[in-house]
Amino acid sequence: MVVEKNTRRIESGIETDFSGRMDYGSYLQLDRLLSAQVPVSRPEHHDELLFIIQHQTTELWFKLILHELRAVRRQLRGDDLRSAMKGIARIKHIQHVLIEQWPVLATLTPAEYAEFRGDLGAASGFQSFQYRAVEFLLGNKNAGMLAVFEALPEAHRLLTELLEQSSIYDEFLALLHRRGYPVPEGLLDRDVRQAHVFEPALLPVFKEIYEHAHGNWDVYEACEELVDLEDNFQLWRFRHLKTVERIIGMKRGTGGSSGAGFLRKALDLTFFPELFAVRTEIGTDNG
Ligand code: HEM
Ligand SMILES: N[C@@H](CC(=O)c1ccccc1NC=O)C(=O)O
């Protein structure tokens, strides 16, 4: 039935008295959430709210990604591959949202941004502890990154903890070992404070899995999920780089780096190098 006068009648059962009961705003702490957008430009620049909200929404999604990645790591450790795959599927959807969000910020013109960039001081996404935590959990450890968090004890503690713990990839390789795959010993007791570096001896392990996917289906699927995760992470980095190029060109960054050139180097970082390298080996008989 169509609504009359294009106006929906409020049903009599709709709750309007919330005394002593939970309501939407209090559950979500909207008072706190919606008062946390505080532009610093004076006079306030119209576009600074876009800039703040793009960052805040990203940080909220980073928070959920971290929550899910920790669960995935636990599930892998407990040989619960199915639950781990479900977690990774959710993370992949979040990554798509984050990648698709870049065009919103790209509506900020170079001239508009230049009007309030000077008010941002030394603030930079380089100081995002959650972004760094995601990199650490995926296995790209870098102790040097902790330096910018010296004055932030909680962030520093979190990153130190993650630096010293195993990554998703460490746990996946340990799971493969428990299942009888010949994962090199050196990877199972490696110094987890270091970034994982390419290990050629893993290639025959993945070659076997990829060439006989039907006999290794769940681990094969897991490999492909990890490839998707890295692929999406790189797409985010690439969209960030391209957005930066179109908004500030080759200017140095507020965080002190060379800017776009520094960000481009991040595209050479990799979490699961052997899962990409194995592609070259498929269908060949060298190993
Ligand atoms: C106008 C938009 C933006 C510009 C011009 C910009 C620029 C930059 C630059 C130049 C750097 C290098 C560090 C520095 O010297 O500052 C950087 C790093 C970073 N930015 Fe942005 N950014 C923008 C938006 C964003 C957004 C929306 C996020 C989301 C949270 C973000 C997250 C990051 C992260 C995580 C890094 C560290 C990357 C790494 O270590 O490779 N940025 N950004
Ligand atoms: N690094 C940026 C500034 C920037 O984008 C930014 C500033 C404050 C808070 C987050 C930021 N986002 C990403 O770097 C720049 O050089 O313009």
Query: Does residue 8 lie in a domain region?
Result: no
Query: Quick check: is 22 in a domain?
Result: no
Average pLDDT of the residues in 55-67: 99
Give pLDDT, residue 285.
Answer: 78
Residue-wise pLDDT tens digits, 25-48: 999 999 999 999 999 999 999 999
pTM over cut 0.80: yes
Pocket of ligand 2 (CB under 6 A): 55, 117, 120, 123-125, 248, 253-255
Among the bound ligands, the one closest to the CA of 109: 1
Spatial separation of the C-alpha atoms in residues 244 and 110, rounded to whole Å = 10
pLDDT at residue 201 greater than cutoff 80 = yes
pLDDT digits (tens, 9 = 90+) for 227-278: 999 999 999 999 999 999 999 999 999 999 999 999 999 999 999 999 999 9
Distance from C-alpha of 127 to C-alpha of 244, rounded to nearest angstrom: 16
Q: Is residue 64 part of a domain?
A: yes
Task: Please state the atom number of ligand 2 nearest to the C-alpha of residue 251.
Answer: 16
Using most ligand atoms within 8 A of CB, pick from 126, 130, 254 the residue to mutate for ligand 2: 254
Q: Is residue 25 part of a domain?
A: no
For residue 262, being part of any structural domain is answered with yes
Q: What's the number of domains the chain is made of?
A: 1
Q: Note whether residue 94 is domain-resident.
A: yes
Share of the chain above pLDDT 90, in %: 98
Mean of the pLDDT values across residues 169-192?
A: 98
| Domain encompassing residue 244 | 47-281
Instruction: Give me the CATH number covering residue 116.
Output: 1.20.58.480
Q: What is the mean pLDDT of the chain?
A: 97
Ligand 2: which of 53, 120, 242 to mutate, most ligand atoms within 8 Å of CB?
Answer: 120
Atom from ligand 1 closest to the CA of residue 102? 27
Task: Give the separation between CA 231 and CA 225, rounded to whole angstroms.
Answer: 10
Inside any domain, residue 147: yes
With respect to residue 9, please indicate whether it lies within any of the assigned structural domains: no
Q: Would the pLDDT of 286 be above 70? A: no
